Amino acid sequence: MAERERRQEQKRVNEVVDVITEKIEKITGKKGEVRKGIVDLRKTFWDDVTVNLDENDDVYETQASIKQQAELLSERERRHGQMTKELKTLFRLQETPYFGRIDFREEYEDQVEPLYIGIGSLMDSRNEDFLIYDWRAPISSMYYDYAPGPAKYSSLDGEVEGSMTLKRQFMIRDGQIKGMFDTGLTIGDSLLQAVLSGKASTHMKSIVATIQREQNQIIRNEQDRYLIVQGAAGSGKTSAALQRVAFLLYRYRKTLRSDNMLLFSPNPLFSSFISSVLPELGEENVVQTTFKDFIEERMGGELQLENPFDQTETCLTMGEGPQLKTKIAGIHFKASLAYRDLIDHWLDHLKRAGMFFRDVAFRDRIIVSGKEIEGYFYALPQDQTLLNRLEHVRDWLLRRIAIFSKHERQEDWVLEEAGLLDKSDYKNIFDKLQQEKQFSDATFDDYDREELLLRKIVMNRHLKRLRRQVKELDFVNTQKVYSEIFYQKYSVDAVPKEWGAICRATRMRFEEGDCPWEDAVPYLYMKEKIQGRKGNRDIRHLIIDEAQDYSPAQLAFLKAAFPRCQMTILGDVNQAIYAQSLGEDTMLSEHLYDPNDVQKLTLLRSYRSTKEIMNFARAIVPMGKVIEPFDRSGRLPEWIDTHNQSEKTEIILSKIDDFKQNGHETIALIGKTMKECQEVYDLLKQRTDVKLITQETYQFDKGFIIIPIYLAKGIEFDAAIIYDASASNYSHESERTLFYTACTRAMHELVLLSSGAASPFLDTVPSEHYTRTQL
Ligand SMILES: Nc1ncnc2c1ncn2[C@@H]1O[C@H](COP(=O)(O)OP(=O)(O)OP(=O)(O)O)[C@@H](O)[C@H]1O
């Protein structure tokens, strides 16, 4: 490209940067004034409020005056917040004003208009023309969707057609053009090459400059209620999901806020890994949670909930045998909709029998026994729902508690405690009696009444918790009602033949106050059907990453919990790691949705790993052929046979040195289980600087880490070593996806260690896709 052109572009960059700098100065000045205004307003808040509480009219006037002041304050605070946000974007634009340019000539127009695209919009100093278009603006979509030639975009007034005469990419840092490419169909392979060849980071980066056409479809999809994305490892699912959040926040900026969106991430480490993408795009982070935390919060701490990682760890370390078979059969069945049907039948049965109730007791005295509650409950008309009947029971129990309280407050201990009440309680009672105009002179009656009120206060305080529990329908013993399912025999086909053993194991866990992970959603489903629970209406968009790990039952639960929600559901069937999803339907299965509401998109191109690593990894999984590695070269994966542990340790240490010398900064030794990771950590920690990643790790730094596969989900490293790729460690078909997930974490280098026979999963990998070293 001619140097002259580059100089011209740099000149424009300089001019735009000048406008940005000017705006920064202006807004900073204004922001200072607004800030001062807020401080002054806070200081003098009450000065401008007329407080007069004598008459009703005065009270209203006072209220109106406070409201007016508060509104003024919050309006200024809002403006201040907006300015802060605007400044943040401007500072980013000052460094990198834009990353793309398209020249577009609208149909029937003579003039070609150059459009520059960046992370935010910028108008010229007269506020007339756009110097930069936000990448999310409708017109910017052409940058991602078209090569030079005919192009169109949808505007508010309809489709605009025309032709694109130029598509140019820039790499601008600190206001200086470092690179400039005119591109063809896909967005500059050269720029993508440059981005992908860089170092892995401990935080994910935004991809706005290089979004690919198929990713853009995901990002800008608006019409579908459920958008399912099946994408190969490293195909940019998470990246697309996050840019999609930014797009939706922009597109619906008048009605949608970041706290209306909820992202389910696979683990806390992943949450921190992706936490900087949205702020980098000038948006606030959305609320993030893990499915386990979400369930635990809804359960309310009544049972000790098993962690899904512990469930996986148990399955992986249990060893062959009937116990494992029972466990897996139980997990599969409880994740299915057939089990949900069974629970529905159970709920139906509960209308006639089978409900268990806790005693409603004060200290160790029973006010109403569980048996008595049962009698009352089943005496109510059967055509009422369980919830209706429980509401009747609740009201009846509250009345019984009131009667109990009336009797109990006569007891001496109540008066004794009344003597210990606070001065303010006495004062309140005095005021109350005054108001009732009963406390004239010190008459006998007034003292009696005062004592009565004091006794009432004492009793109400003691009964407060009990009343709350009754109001929340906590008198239903849902754990026992659920456990009872496991005393039944079912002649339904879907019930696995291991049912007897599943029942014994489940009963035992519930008796100990534990809730196995596979029971969490079914139990909560039943509990909420009995006790009722409203869906969350604040959350309007759910983003579910690693959706292959969610079962149909979990999907059904989320649909009910978020009834108004749109969902973006992203995953990869080849990376299913939990027992419940292997070979079963998952949240990615289209047929679980109403066909009118769902759209499924597929991403086949994989960007994370070098071509060599992806060619190796895709040969491990069936249908891996369809995955298209991005054309970026590196070393072939290396498979090293070792004879014993000490040899293995030495190899690891020398590989770490080698990686570091190659400039790699994030290096992971990936184990199958936490147990394996802990063992190798104990061996290595004396010899090198290494960190073990556990379920409690919320962040990782550059350097060498040891991590089990299930915690490395969604994360990437410059170089990865698969600690034990021997047949003794990976041979079950069910572990194939786990093995594939591990291999696809590596961006630039992959090493596999094995001793003895190697994993049969390597049998399907052609020998030209790796180098093999036998020590
Ligand atoms: N269009 C793109 N431009 C630049 N980098 C990209 C692009 N798409 C993906 N990448 C990069 O590829 C890597 C993988 O992306 P991401 O983690 O989003 O993939 P994924 O499909 O969620 O992977 P996995 O299923 O393995 O977790 C990241 O480093 C991301 O920045």
Q: What DSSP string runs through 687-720?
A: TS--EE--TT-----SEEEEEEHHHHTT--EEEE
Test site for ligand 1: of 238, 271, 740, most ligand atoms within 8 A of the Cβ: 238
Name residue, tokens 């590695």: 629
Angle value at C-alpha 153, between 152 and 158, nearest 5 degrees: 110
Confidence at residue 282, expressed as pLDDT on a 0 to 100 scale = 87
CA 239 to centroid of ligand 1, rounded, Å? 6
Q: What is the pLDDT of residue 351?
A: 93
Residue whose tokens read 């409603």: 360
Q: Is residue 626 predicted with pLDDT exceeding 60?
A: yes
Torsion angle, alpha carbons of 481, 482, 483, 485, to 10: 100
Instruction: Please state the atom number of ligand 1 nearest to the C-alpha of residue 241.
Output: 18
Q: How many CB atoms lie within 10 A of CB 523?
A: 25
Angle at 297 between CA 293 and CA 299, to 5 degrees: 115
Confidence of residue 137 (pLDDT cuts 50, 70, 90): very high
Which of 109-123, 257-271, 528-542, 748-762 has the least mean pLDDT? 528-542
Predicted pLDDT at 665: 93
- Determine the 3-state secondary structure of 231 from DSSP: strand
Rounded Cα gap, residues 495 and 345, in angstroms: 14
How far, in Å, is the centroid of ligand 1 from the Cα of 188?
16
Average pLDDT of the segment spanning 523-542: 89
- Alpha helices by DSSP H, 231-334: 237-251, 268-273, 277-280, 291-299, 308-317, 322-334
Convert the pLDDT of each residue in 700-713 to its tens digit: 889 999 999 999 99
pLDDT of residue 74: 85
Section 408-418 average pLDDT: 87
Q: Tell me what the mean pLDDT of segment 628-636 comes to.
A: 94
Q: Are 531 and 507 in contact (CB under 8 A)?
A: no
**Using CA atoms, how far apart are residues 750 and 744, in angstroms rounded to an integer?**
9
| Paired tokens of 164 | 């694109």
Give the per-residue pLDDT at 666.
Answer: 94
Q: Which residues line ligand 1 (CB under 6 A)?
A: 192, 195-196, 205, 207, 210-212, 215, 231, 233-239, 572, 575, 607-608, 714, 716, 744
10 pLDDT higher than 90: yes
Pocket test for ligand 1, best of 607, 716, 741, 748 (most atoms within 8 A of CB): 607
Q: Distance between CA atoms of 42 and 45, rounded to whole angstroms?
A: 5
Q: Which helix (H) or strand (E) holds 477?
A: none
On the question of pLDDT at 439 being above 70, the answer is no
Tokens of 216: 């853009």
716: closest CA among 684, 758, 674, 748? 748
Cβ atoms within 10 Å, residue 23:
18
**Gap from CA of 205 to ligand 1 centroid (Å):** 9
Q: What is the mean pLDDT of residues 688-705?
A: 92
Distance of CA 599 to the CA centre of its chain: 21
Phi, then psi, of 242 in degrees rounded to 5? -70, -40
pLDDT of residue 217: 94
Q: Please report the pLDDT score of residue 50 as a whole number.
A: 61
Single-letter amino acid, residue 386? L
Tokens 């007269």 found at:
126
What's the 3-state SS for 441-467?
CCCHHHHHHHHHHHHHHHHHHHHHHHH
144: part of which helix (H) or strand (E)? helix 141-145
Residue in the block written with tokens 């580059």: 6
Q: How many CB atoms lie within 10 A of CB 701?
A: 9
Give residue 230's pLDDT. Answer: 96
Encode pLDDT of 167-210 as tens digits: 999 999 999 999 888 876 555 577 788 888 887 788 898 999 89
- The answer, yes or no, to whether residue 165 has pLDDT greater than 60, is yes
Ligand 1 centroid to 592 CA: how many Å? 27
Q: How confident is the model at residue 526 (pLDDT cuts 50, 70, 90)?
A: very high
Q: Give residue 748 CA to ligand 1 midpoint distance, Å.
A: 14
Bridge-partner residues for 485, per DSSP?
A: none
- Return the SS3 of 9: helix
Residue 762 has pLDDT above 70, yes or no: yes
Which region holds residue 583: left if phi is over 0, alpha if psi is between -120 and 50, else beta?
Answer: left
Q: In angstroms, rounded to a whole number, what is the distance separating the alpha carbons of residues 38 and 495?
A: 65
C-alpha–C-alpha distance, residues 703 and 689, integer Å: 8
Return the higher-pLDDT residue of 716 and 429.
Answer: 716
CB-based burial label for 595 (10 Å; 0-12, 13-18, 19+) = exposed
**Contacts for 620-626 with beta carbons within 8 Å, 24 or more apart?**
620/736, 620/739, 620/740, 620/743, 620/761, 620/762, 620/764, 620/765, 621/574, 621/736, 621/737, 621/740, 623/574, 624/574
Ligand 1 centre from 171 Cα, in Å? 19
Q: Which CATH number fits domain 622-774: 3.20.20.70, 3.30.413.10, 3.40.50.720, 3.40.50.300?
A: 3.40.50.300
Both tokens assigned to 522: 């079914």
Q: What span, in angstroms and rounded, lies between the C-alpha atoms of 646 and 275?
A: 39
Q: Give which of 475, 526, 533, 484 is closest to 507, Cα–Cα.
A: 484
How many helices and strands in the chain, by DSSP H and E? 26, 26
Indicate the pTM of the whole model: 0.87
* Sequence-ordered list of residues with C-beta below 8 angstroms from that of 393, at least 6 positions apart, any chain: 373, 376, 377, 380, 475
Q: Which atom of ligand 1 is nearest to the CA of 713?
A: 27
Give the closest residue (by CA) to ligand 1 atom 12. 608
Q: How confident is the model at residue 52 (pLDDT cuts 50, 70, 90)?
A: low
pLDDT of residue 219: 96
Query: Can you say which residues are annotated as belonging to the binding site for ATP?
Result: 231-238
Gap from CA of 552 to ligand 1 centroid (Å):
26
CB count within 10 Å of CB 495 equals: 17
What are 475's two structure tokens? Answer: 């008198």
- Write the pLDDT tens digit of every residue in 415-424: 888 878 887 8
Mean local confidence (pLDDT), 42-47: 74
**Predicted confidence (pLDDT) at residue 580 exceeds the cutoff of 60:** yes
Please determine, for residue 51, whether its predicted confidence score (pLDDT) is greater than 80. no
Q: Whole-angstrom distance between the N-terminal and C-terminal Cα of the chain?
A: 52
Instruction: Please state whether 363 falls in left (phi above 0), alpha (psi between -120 and 50) or beta.
Output: left
How many other C-beta atoms are found inside a 10 Å radius of the C-beta of residue 754? Answer: 23
All residues at 6 or more sequence positions from 36 whose CB lies less than 8 Å from its CB, including other chains: none
What does the alpha-carbon distance between residue 266 and residue 250 come to, in Å, rounded to a whole number? 26
Measured on CA atoms in the order 495, 730, 291, 259, is the torsion positive or negative? negative
* 204, amino acid identity: M
When pLDDT is averaged across residues 620-646 and rounded to a whole number, the result is: 93
State residue 188's pLDDT score.
Answer: 55
DSSP assignment, residue 644? S
By alpha-carbon position, which residue is closest to atom 16 of ligand 1? 236
Please check whether residue 94 is in contact with residue 24, taking contact to mean a CB–CB distance below 8 angstroms: yes
pLDDT attached to residue 184: 65
711 CB contacts (<8 Å, ≥6 apart)? Answer: 267, 269, 309, 693, 694, 695, 697
User: Ligand 1: which atom is nearest the Cα of residue 607?
Assistant: 12
The average pLDDT across 363-377 equals 95
Residue pair 140/167 in contact by the 8 Å Cβ criterion: no
